[in-house]
Structure 1
Amino acid sequence: MTVAETVVATTAQTEALPEIADPSRIAPRDARQLSKVFFDRLAVLEEGTREYQDVRNTLIEMNMSLVRFAAGRFRSRGPEEMEDIVQVGMIGLIKAIDRFELTREVEFTSFAVPYIVGEIKRFFRDTSWAVHVPRRLQEARILLSKATEELRSRLGRTPTVKELSELMCLSEEEVNEARLASNGYNSSSLDATVNSGEDGEAALADFIGADDHALELVEDFHALAPMIAALDDRERRIIHMRFVDELTQAQIGEHLGVSQMHVSRLLNRTLTKLRTGMLTTS
């Protein structure tokens, strides 16, 4: 009997999660099965309690293999950076664990890997500049990127400089400066050689061009926009705080003056409404 089968059987008999001596050594296949059991328990525990923290820490250690897998995609950057890449990837894993919900009906691995890779890419974006750029412009560039994505999602089109300046609380001149600063972020020759694994070295130009699966979501975003607009103010505020501000349910509860469980019910009800609407229109 595997470790996962043993834990599942023990949990079913005792309704208690047994201790795992070294969660970081759990095989990835077992980790996928065990994660479901631990997420089930995490969902009924109160944030901040000792048991909640223990279960959360076990989930983090069990799924460290996902970080190593995602970090492997960037091994061409050299061993010096790999330690930093793994540390940054762990931040992405922790964010994924804190935001994952079993009601999403997706595997945790499918949910977590984009978070981990996104955090690593954000690390490169924020630390890798081809030329020296003042710190204020580096920060403005990050704000510009976030504001552009938010407004593009909200408006369904590329935002204007004026719209960006209003959201960022900056002048239009400062927004244009941030755009120009983005040009100094990174540069590489298309003839630069990269390590392509077993095939040896290859030119960077050989790797340009790939299917962007995110484009498949464009129709979904267009269908979802009017449904979000039809929500009441509180529902839209909760959705914004959860998925734009990236607050936890406990933090949202503090803002609204309600309990975490009440926020969870409101969020589930709103997501069910949106999900039903999407299925109806598809």
Structure 2
Amino acid sequence: MKYLSLWQKYKLNKDIEAKTALIEGYIELVKIVAGRLYTTYGSNIEYDDLVSYGIFGLIDAIDKFELEKSVKFETYAQIRIRGAIIDQLRNLDWVPRSIRQKSKAVDRAYQKLEGILGRSATDEEVAREMGLSLGEFQSILQQVNNLQIISLEEKLMENNINNIHSEEDLIPESIICNKESYETLHESIDKLPEREKQVITLYYYEELTYKEIGAVLSISESRVSQLHTKAISRLKSKFLL
């Protein structure tokens, strides 16, 4: 295990110098997570702020990590770091109230229509349900994108982060939801329109950025953003609300 002697000094003797060395040794993990989130939230927050929020997650991970668990610290820590950043963004409440209201309206429209139709609702159907033109609806999707990501990622963090005991607990399905909800999640993702399913897979499982996903699918970043927002609204209407 990396830094094993430092881990032993800190866990066995609460050696503060060892803890400091561990923080310095793993700081790159914070930069990696903050960098990826910055590609999403960069227009609203500074990269250095994301790093500072993530450091609290790293410290928390070091404090709570158990050496006897059969899980890599790096994997465990990245979840904690990501959770700390998301929590802080939520606490800052930097998303305007009007955007939150629009996000809820989109979620309600998808939930109502897909409950009635028994299939994925089209953009035109959702726009009509909300009393909007297609262009206005697509504009709203762009506006609520960041909030939708935070909403889902909060669920990713809160459901399983305290129940990690082994590498098996860190598979994407387990991170995304409690095990009893896996079937619902799997079925919901499988029923997404193909493009939306591809975006969810590439973003959450392959951890690609919007720019990278756009290159893979030969579409613009803004289109990736729209597809992602629609997919999250559909998933939330199934099992997150």
Provide TM-score, normalisation by structure 2.
Answer: 0.43
Q: Which has the higher contact order (CA 8 A, sep 6+)?
A: 2
Q: Name the structure with the higher helix share.
A: 2
